[in-house]
């Protein structure tokens, strides 16, 4: 599904990625682990062309993502859901409206919105927060809402970049369980984290990065 072919990314202060070759198969749950500055975020941003490689190529299926025209890149990004550490929710919209807005952006009808939004909020255990604004919700609830927004348009891939970085252990466990549930339903999940406890609880493939390089790729990582 995703293939990094000898990808490097250079900045003025050094290499963020150093000759990365990596293949991720459709349906996998892959955790990318490493300390801050290891290159995890740069790697995931390459997939949606938020970063361009200094050398090498990144493929989504057979598509070189960095050769796409703007219109085609927009279509590709609709196949990918992204979950951020800082949530990036719309503060002036309720939980329902945050998700409805994401559906409106891709042309979904009012009927589809009314049908799908309650269902996805139930999936992330937020049915009782339907009409709450983000500032009326806990950090864990806000992150679950961000996940709901990321999956509402049924993407083929979810990229979660440090989604538990600001959460306590209980909420961290809940977020990981939701991501595992999404993966069980057939969606590919890429989780970037520095939290080794999260990796242990997932129990699936782990790619370890250090100083822009992949130093380990374990099928059932711990």
Q: What is the pLDDT of residue 26?
A: 97
CATH, range 27-51+70-218: 3.40.50.300
Residue 128: pLDDT band with limits 50, 70, 90: very high
Contact 31, 221 (CB under 8 A): yes
Q: What is the pLDDT of residue 33?
A: 94
> Looking at residues 132-137, what average pLDDT do you find?
97
> Looking at residues 80-91, what average pLDDT do you find?
91
Residue 23: pLDDT band with limits 50, 70, 90: very high
As a whole number of angstroms, the distance between CA 22 and CA 164 comes to: 24
Q: Where are the domains of the chain?
A: 27-51+70-218
In terms of DSSP bridges, do strands 14-24 and 188-193 run parallel, antiparallel, or are they unpaired? unpaired
In terms of DSSP bridges, do strands 29-33 and 188-193 run parallel, antiparallel, or are they unpaired? parallel
Residue range 137-185, pLDDT digits in tens: 999 999 999 999 999 999 999 999 999 888 888 888 899 999 999 999 9
Taking the model in full, what pTM does it have? 0.93
Q: What is the pLDDT of residue 86?
A: 86
Phi/psi for 76 (5° steps) reads -65, -45
Q: What percent of the chain has pLDDT over 90?
A: 84
> Looking at residues 103-125, what average pLDDT do you find?
95
């Amino acid at each position: 599904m995703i293939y990094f072919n000898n990808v490097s990314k250079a900045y003025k202060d050094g290499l963020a990625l150093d000759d990365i070759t990596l293949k991720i198969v459709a349906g996998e749950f892959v955790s990318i682990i490493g300390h801050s500055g290891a290159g995890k975020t740069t790697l995931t941003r390459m997939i949606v062309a938020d970063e361009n490689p200094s050398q090498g190529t990144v493929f989504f299926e057979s598509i070189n993502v960095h050769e796409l025209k703007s219109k085609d890149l927009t279509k590709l990004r609709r196949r990918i859901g992204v979950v951020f550490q800082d949530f990036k929710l719309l503060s002036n919209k309720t939980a329902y409206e945050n998700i409805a807005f994401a559906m409106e952006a891709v042309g979904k009808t009012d009927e589809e919105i009314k049908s799908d939004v309650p269902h996805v909020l139930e999936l992330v255990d937020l049915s009782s927060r339907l009409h709450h604004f983000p500032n009326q919700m806990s950090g864990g609830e806000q992150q679950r809402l961000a996940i709901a927004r990321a999956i509402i348009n049924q993407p083929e891939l979810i990229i979660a970049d440090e989604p538990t970085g600001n959460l306590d252990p209980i909420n961290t466990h809940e977020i990981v369980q939701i991501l595992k549930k999404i993966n069980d339903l057939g969606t590919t999940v890429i989780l970037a984290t520095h939290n080794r406890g999260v990796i242990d609880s997932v129990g699936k493939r782990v790619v370890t990065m250090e100083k822009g390089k992949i130093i380990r790729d374990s099928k059932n990582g711990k």
